[in-house]
Amino acid sequence: MNNRTHMCGEVTAEAAGQSVILKGWVQRARNLGGIVFVWLRDRTGIVQVVFDGNDISKELLELAESLRSEYVIEVHGQARMRAPEAVNKKLKTGEVEVVAESAIILNPSKTPPIYIEDDTKEQESLRLKYRYLDLRRPSMQNMLLFRHKVIKLLRDYMDEQGFIEVETPILSKSTPEGARDYLVPARVKPGTFYALPQSPQIYKQLLMLAGLDKYYQVARCFRDEDGRADRQPEFTQFDMEMSFIDPEDIQTVVEGAYAHVFKTLLNIELTLPLRRITWRDAMARYGSDKPDTRFGMEIQDVGEVVAGCGFKVFEEALAAGNTVCAICAQDAGHMSRKELDALGEFVKTYHVRGLAWAVVNEDGTLRSSFAKAMQGDSMQRLLDAVSAKPGDAVFVIADKKYVALTAMGQLRLRLGKQLNLIDNKRYDLLWVTEFPLLEWSDEENRFLAMHHPFTNVMEEDIPLMDTDPGAVRAKAYDLVMNGVEMGSGSIRIHQSDVQEKMFSLLGFTKEQAWEQFGFLLGAFQYGTPPHGGFAFGIDRMVMILSGAESLRDVLAFPKIQNGACPMMDTPSAVQPEQLEQLKIRCVE
Ligand code: ASP
């Protein structure tokens, strides 16, 4: 039996006067000549241990003098209050210290290649190479604890709501999220492969078919995408599915789970139900399907206001059926010409031709890139339409509708940051609903499913599937927090005629659809309950709630940009015999 009496962080004033047995790592040992002060660390904190040569044997003092960083030791001693002038307010245990009576070195340590302390200046690559040491840092331990709590709260909540957690296979077949699959060669049938699941999507739908009614899972998902700063090739998703429901039912469970985590961990009361905004509104007002609603500066369509204004750029855009949209940045009129030009260059990276700007000077006069071309009172009408006051700056973009709105949305975000409009302490959550069913891909010259091919259609839009597929709205919804997509879900297609139509819109022949998803389509013929679900990223949730800066900081063993793990040195070559068994030959 472990004879430890206290964890290091528990040796506070209450323990004073008690005999203690502690085990942990030497954070540092200071030898003041005849007296050695050791900071002993474990998961719960640090406590000071004193080896005083006046009171202990020569052997014990020698042992203390031999201690180095990261040695693992066991100490027996007495906890006592420190003298008032020796209290260390930075330590939870800073009022006490442990007077050592005996100690054992359980294991020495090589000099660690990184400093194990919170305000580390070590390179991230080095920290990740020695992740097991990096994880000894208190902030990393707290993060793992925080993550554990988030997952536990979610599990408890779902259990209370009557959901059952079911584990689904990792060795699987392609799932429909549309990223590249990680493949695993099957030795027993050379030339065939498993795919690692991009999500448990198909399994969870099959579980509804199986009559499970309410399923959830803390699920590992794998997507082989080129390294993006905010993505990991494998990630944890909180995945759920329910039968006999509409979007509101799913949203109520998800926001309830969020509210439970927020209340318990951050003591923040979310106001439920969360706001809902349709995709079209989100695009029109914020130029984004994941709007940051912590600040205003909404986009306005000024097409009607500038009709016939005389400025060719606006008039030609309107004649071509395009959009002219504007934002008014309050108190941004101090911007220099150089800053305004930089904003023009910035929006061009979002494929619009340019940015028209007008600054209302404090004395009511104008500085503007296009005022000269505006005839009559059209400039004033535009300024009035966006409620521009002296000191404000107005920005206008004219282009194809969603190109213009997207660029304006990015400008809005940039100005929000630049003008300090974003309250970083605020959590603003909302649902974006009624996503389009399809998005056109110029690259593939066909429609792609915006969510995935099993996403159901708003009933009233079913006829549009034949006449105007691009305008069809799906029963799909995203949860958005502070401008970040936290998760997405949908009601699934359970009618075989709608499913067939969906596949044909995606350019699949019936045979191709059956080849890829036959097991699901076949299963759907045996009484499929109407069903739908949702999934949100746990890594991202933990990152935002804990204030971490990157996804790598909230994973015990993350991958770096190119999907590599510097600690395990993966991916790595394998033995030729292994490839032989798999009947695989590398061509390069
Ligand atoms: N499987 C979807 C995803 O991972 C989520 C869902 O529709 O439930 O994005």
Q: What is the pTM of this model?
A: 0.92
If one counts every other C-beta atom within 10 angstroms of the C-beta of residue 378, the result is 19
- pLDDT, residue 497, reads 83
- pLDDT, residue 177, reads 78
Residue with CA nearest ligand 1 atom 1: 201
Instruction: Please choose from 201, 223, 243 the residue to mutate so as to test ligand 1's pocket, defined by most ligand atoms within 8 A of CB.
Output: 201
Residue with CA nearest ligand 1 atom 4: 199
The atom number, within ligand 1, closest to the CA of 488 reads: 5
Q: How far apart are CA 350 and CA 408, in angstroms?
A: 9
Three-state DSSP class for 35?
A: strand
If one counts every other C-beta atom within 10 angstroms of the C-beta of residue 180, the result is 14
The atom number, within ligand 1, closest to the CA of 175 reads: 1
DSSP string, 225-254: ----TT--SEEEEEEEEEES--HHHHHHHH
- pLDDT, residue 228, reads 67
Residue with CA nearest ligand 1 atom 9: 488
- pLDDT, residue 519, reads 82
The atom number, within ligand 1, closest to the CA of 492 reads: 7
- 350 Ramachandran zone, left/alpha/beta (phi>0; psi -120 to 50): alpha
Residue with CA nearest ligand 1 atom 7: 489
Q: How far is the CA of 201 from the centre of ligand 1 (A)?
A: 6
Q: How far is the CA of 146 from the centre of ligand 1 (A)?
A: 25
Q: How far is the CA of 367 from the centre of ligand 1 (A)?
A: 49
Peptide bond into 197 cis (omega under 30): no
Per-residue pLDDT reduced to its tens digit, 70-84: 999 999 999 999 999
Look at the alpha carbons of 285, 286, 287, 290 in this order and tell me if their dihedral is positive or negative.
negative
If one counts every other C-beta atom within 10 angstroms of the C-beta of residue 143, the result is 21
Taking only the tens of pLDDT, the chain with its 588 residues reads 889 999 999 999 999 999 999 999 999 999 999 999 999 999 999 999 999 999 999 999 999 999 999 999 999 999 999 999 999 999 999 999 999 999 999 999 999 999 998 888 888 889 999 999 999 999 999 999 999 999 999 999 999 999 999 999 999 987 777 889 999 999 999 999 999 999 999 999 999 999 999 999 999 999 998 866 678 999 999 999 999 999 999 999 999 999 999 999 999 999 999 999 999 999 999 999 999 999 999 999 999 999 999 999 999 999 999 999 999 999 999 999 999 999 999 999 999 999 999 999 999 999 999 999 999 999 999 999 999 999 999 999 999 999 999 999 999 999 999 999 999 899 999 999 999 999 999 888 999 999 999 999 999 999 999 999 999 999 999 999 999 999 999 999 998 888 889 999 999 888 988 888 888 888 989 999 999 999 999 999 999 999 998 999 999 999 988 889 999 999 999 999 999 999 999 887
- pLDDT, residue 227, reads 62
Q: How far is the CA of 372 from the centre of ligand 1 (A)?
A: 51
Q: How far is the CA of 289 from the centre of ligand 1 (A)?
A: 16
Instruction: Please choose from 174, 175, 177, 250 the residue to mutate so as to test ligand 1's pocket, defined by most ligand atoms within 8 A of CB.
Output: 177
Residue 533 CB–ligand 1 contact under 6 Å:
yes
Query: Of the candidates 525, 529, 553, which has an alpha carbon nearest to the alpha carbon of residue 539?
Result: 553
Residue 489 CB–ligand 1 contact under 6 Å:
yes
Q: How far is the CA of 236 from the centre of ligand 1 (A)?
A: 12
Distinct helix (H) and strand (E) counts, the chain? 17, 22
b/e code 295-309 from CB counts within 10 Å (16+ = b):
bebebbbbbebbeeb
Instruction: Please choose from 218, 249, 450, 452 the residue to mutate so as to test ligand 1's pocket, defined by most ligand atoms within 8 A of CB.
Output: 452
Instruction: Please choose from 199, 202, 241, 536 the residue to mutate so as to test ligand 1's pocket, defined by most ligand atoms within 8 A of CB.
Output: 199
Residue 201 CB–ligand 1 contact under 6 Å:
yes
Q: How far is the CA of 493 from the centre of ligand 1 (A)?
A: 14
Q: How far apart are CA 65 and CA 239, in angstroms?
A: 53
- pLDDT, residue 361, reads 95
Give how far the C-alpha of residue 308 lies from the chain's centroid of Cα atoms, to the nearest Å.
45
If one counts every other C-beta atom within 10 angstroms of the C-beta of residue 118, the result is 10
